[in-house]
Amino acid sequence: MIEGIPLPVTDDPRDQPFWEAALRGELVLQRCAHCGRCRFPPRPMCPRCQSFEHEWRAVSGRGRIWSFAVLHPPLLPAFAKFAPYPVILVELEEDPSLRMVGNLVPGPEGEIHQVDPRGVQIGAPVRVVFQKVAEDVALPRWVLVEPEAA
């Protein structure tokens, strides 16, 4: 676990259901109750139809690497000892226009620097795992999936 990392606020009504689901090991997205379009990050109004009505929908947690960067120092001090490490942008299976940024880890308990950045490939299938980093925070992280298992 990385000591001293900045943690998200998990009791903001706008995204509290996201963080509660993450603690349960579930990936949820905000879905417009009017037009049905999912959106991420959560926000008060649907960018498509401007409705303020929404619900939370569980999604598969599967996707593909859309892009990535390899982070090198200088970084926030808490991350410096892990550099270089890959950060990926994942297009979600349910809607490829929805993308989430996260760390690529070798497994549910893996560290962010344990995946060789030279092996990261755009288009590689991934699935979400959750790592509990505080009593009230589980962060979504991503692991590579064998193509036949994707």
Kindly indicate the confidence band of residue 99, based on its pLDDT and cuts at 50, 70 and 90: very high
Report the distance separating Cα 105 and Cα 141, nearest Å. 7
pTM listed for this prediction: 0.91
* Omega of the bond leading into 74 within 30 degrees of 0 (cis): yes
On the CB side of 149, CA atoms within 13 Å amount to 6
pLDDT by residue (tens digit) across 40-61? Answer: 999 999 999 999 999 999 999 9
Element (H, E) at 103: strand 95-103
Q: How big, in percent rounded to 5, are the helix, strand and coil portions of the chain?
A: 10, 40, 50
Give the helix ranges, DSSP H, for the chain. Answer: 16-23, 77-80
pLDDT digits (tens, 9 = 90+) for 1-40: 677 888 999 999 999 999 999 999 999 999 999 999 999 9
Q: What is the pLDDT of residues 103-150, one digit of tens each?
A: 999 999 999 999 999 999 999 999 999 999 999 999 999 999 987 655
Quick one: pLDDT at residue 37? 95
Whether 74 has a pLDDT exceeding 90, the answer reads no
